[in-house]
């Protein structure tokens, strides 16, 4: 098979390290790597120049030999189908995964845009929610995402999958001291808006202009009092019926797109 040995043992050092990178944030941070799965995320990482090495099942490899150009410049290993099913993090594996270099951003990278639009996340614990928020942020034109220390790890497999590739394009930064970070933004001329049940209705024209930060809190508990107190404005989404609140990812999407709409209008 192209002179390559098929890896069949879960004790293979590369396979053991793949498992480690999927399960442990510490390993991801120490090695500066994370794992992507599935053809879409694999191709996204490859296109961005971040892909280090590919791991493919025997059946995936056999299929791709029909299009040899797929292998151009690719460093890869072939894994038995049975072993691939063991190491995958998905229910229906596509037969391809890869190790990817972790993007590294400085605080300054988030502020390059003239009127920066930051999403500020506190205690977003659900990986699917976090990934969806990142994907939506790219669509809404957010220029950077800041997370506090108790958010889900942004590079764990489920978060990465849920971003559908946005993880490679939206700058993000984990703030060691989230409250101090918010204070710093305010000294730099940012207006901070916090999604909050006791806030005023958000739908006022012209609110979300200039340099802004949008605060979104924990799925169950919302923002902490300390964080809410840092906001210039508490805002809430208009609700009909007896609904009190929305899923964090949905709420973030509505507010991000309202901000995007107002900011686009301001350009014309």
Choosing from 57, 81, 101, the residue where a domain stops is 101
Report how far apart, in Å, the C-alpha atoms of 124 and of each of 113, 172, 187, 221 are. 25, 14, 25, 10
Looking at the structure, do residues 96 and 181 belong to the same domain, yes or no?
no
Looking at the structure, do residues 84 and 145 belong to the same domain, yes or no?
no
Q: Mean of the per-residue pLDDT values for the chain?
A: 92
| Cut 0.75: pTM above it | yes
Mean pLDDT, range 208-217, rounded to an integer: 93
Q: State yes or no: pLDDT of 1 exceeds 60.
A: no
Looking at the structure, do residues 182 and 253 belong to the same domain, yes or no?
yes
Question: What are the pLDDT digits (tens) for 67-102?
Answer: 999 999 999 999 999 999 999 988 889 999 999 999
- CATH number of the domain at 10, please: 3.30.1330.30
Question: What are the pLDDT digits (tens) for 163-198?
Answer: 999 999 999 999 999 999 999 999 999 999 998 888
Q: Which domain holds residue 78?
A: 6-101
- CATH number of the domain at 214, please: 3.40.1280.10
Q: Is residue 1 part of a domain?
A: no
State the DSSP code for 222. Answer: B
- Outline where the chain has alpha helix (H): 13-23, 25-31, 39-47, 58-64, 81-87, 127-140, 157-163, 178-187, 225-228, 248-267
- The pLDDT value recorded for residue 209 is 87
* Percentage of the chain exceeding pLDDT 70: 96
Per-residue confidence band for 203, with pLDDT thresholds at 50, 70 and 90? low
């Amino acid at each position: 098979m192209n002179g390559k040995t098929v890896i069949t043992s879960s004790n293979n050092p590369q396979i053991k390290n793949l498992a480690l990178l999927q399960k442990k944030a510490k390993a991801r941070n120490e090695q500066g790597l994370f794992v992507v799965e599935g053809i879409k995320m694999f191709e996204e990482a490859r296109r961005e120049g971040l892909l280090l090495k590919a791991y493919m099942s025997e059946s995936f490899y056999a299929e791709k030999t029909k299009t040899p150009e797929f292998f151009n410049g690719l460093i890869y290993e072939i894994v038995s189908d049975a072993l691939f099913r063991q190491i995958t993090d998905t229910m229906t594996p596509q037969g391809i995964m890869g190790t990817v270099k972790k993007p590294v951003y400085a605080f300054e990278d988030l502020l390059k845009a003239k009127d920066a639009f930051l999403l500020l996340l506190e205690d977003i614990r659900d990986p699917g929610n976090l990934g969806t928020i990142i994907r939506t942020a790219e669509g809404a034109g957010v220029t950077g995402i800041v997370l506090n220390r108790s958010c889900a790890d942004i590079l764990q497999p489920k978060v990465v999958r849920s971003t559908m590739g946005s993880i490679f394009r939206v700058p993000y930064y984990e703030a060691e001291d989230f409250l101090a970070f918010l204070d710093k933004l305010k000294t730099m001329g940012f207006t901070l808006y916090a999604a909050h049940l006791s806030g005023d209705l958000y739908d006022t024209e012209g609110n979300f202009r200039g340099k802004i930060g949008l605060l979104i809190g924990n799925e169950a508990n919302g923002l902490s009092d300390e964080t809410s107190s840092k906001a210039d404005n508490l805002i809430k989404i208009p609700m009909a019926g007896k609904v009190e609140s929305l899923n964090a990812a949905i709420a973030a999407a509505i507010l991000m797109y309202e901000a995007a709409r107002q900011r686009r209008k301001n350009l014309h």
